[in-house]
Amino acid sequence: MNSGMEEKNYDCVRGFIAVKTRNGHSALYKAFPMRCKSWDCPYCAKIKGDQYKQRMKPLFDRGSLYFYTFTFYHNLPALESWSSVSSTWNRFRTAAAKKYGRFSYVRVLEHHHRSNYPHLHVIADVRFNDVWLAKELKTAGFGYQCCVKPVDGERAAEYVSKYLTKPWNSAVCRAMRKNLKLRLISFGGDACLGRRSDKKWSLLAMALNCADAIDAINRDRDWAHGSNSITTYEETGFDSYELTIIIPENETDVLSISTAIMSSG
C-alpha cells in the first residue's frame, strides 16, 4: 500500500464515516475521515484544491486560455470593496457574456499582500479586447487590470492550485471573507462539468476512528456472499479508502479486506 498515507495530518479530523452504494452485483464501500474542510487548513485546502482541479478539467484541456488579475481601487474602505466582490464580478461577467457569448472561467479570490483589499485571479477561454476590458472593469466596479497573459492547461491548473492553497496571512482579510461568506473559488461554463456524482450513498456508520468505520463495513453482510468474490482496493486522491466488491454466491473473506484497508491507514 502507499506508504505516503503515514504522513497524513489528522489534526483537523472530526471522526470517520463509512458509506456504501450498490450497482447490480457490484458494491462500492468508502471509509474516510470527516475533516474541517476549511480553506485555512493546509491539509484540507490541498484536498479541496485537487478536487476542484478535477472538476475543472474540461476547461484546462482546452488550447486557448487566458490568465487575468482584476483588482480594486483603494479609494473606498476595504470592507466596502470586500462586500462588493460578488456583485462586481457578476456585473462584469454579464457584460462579457453579452459581448463574447458563453464563456468558461475559473475565478479565485485573494487578498493583496501589501493591503487589506481583495483582487480576483481569473482563467477564461476568451481573450477580452484590451480597450473593452479596461472600460468594463471600471463600469463593473473594479479598479484596474494589472495582468493578462495566455496560459496552457497545465499552467492554468498550477495557478488554480497555487492560489487556492496559498495561506491567508492577513487575519483582517480572512475575517472579512468569512463574515461576508465569500466563495474562495467559483467557476462557470464547461469548467463546472463533472462536479456531481449520480451515486446514491447509504450511511453505514459515523465513528471515532478508521478501525470502527471499517468494522461497520465488515458488519454489513449484504455483500458477504462468497470466497470467490473479486475485491479491489484503491486509495483515492481525495483522502478516502475505497472498496469495490463483485458479489458471487458464497461467503467472502471480509478479514482480508479489512486488513488491506487498515494496513494503509
Whether the pLDDT of residue 262 is over 60: the answer is no
Residue 238 confidence (pLDDT): 47
Domains within the chain, CATH numbers bracketed: 3-37+198-262 (no CATH), 42-183 (3.30.70.1200)
Average pLDDT, rounded, for the chain: 77
pLDDT tens figures, 157-199: 888 888 988 889 899 999 999 999 999 999 888 777 655 556 6
Q: What is the mean pLDDT of residues 79-104?
A: 95
Residue 32 confidence (pLDDT): 80
Q: Are 78 and 115 in contact (CB under 8 A)?
A: yes
Give the list of residues 6+ apart from residue 209 with CB closer than 8 angstroms, or none: 16
CA atoms within 13 A on the CB side of 170: 17
pLDDT tens figures, 14-65: 888 888 887 666 667 777 888 888 888 888 888 888 888 887 888 888 778 9
Give the list of residues 6+ apart from residue 165 with CB closer than 8 angstroms, or none: 42, 45, 46, 49
215 or 193: whose pLDDT is higher? Answer: 215
Q: What is the mean pLDDT of residues 90-112?
A: 94
DSSP state of 221: G
* Burial class for 114, CB neighbours closer than 10 Å (0-12, 13-18, 19+): exposed
Residue 263 confidence (pLDDT): 36
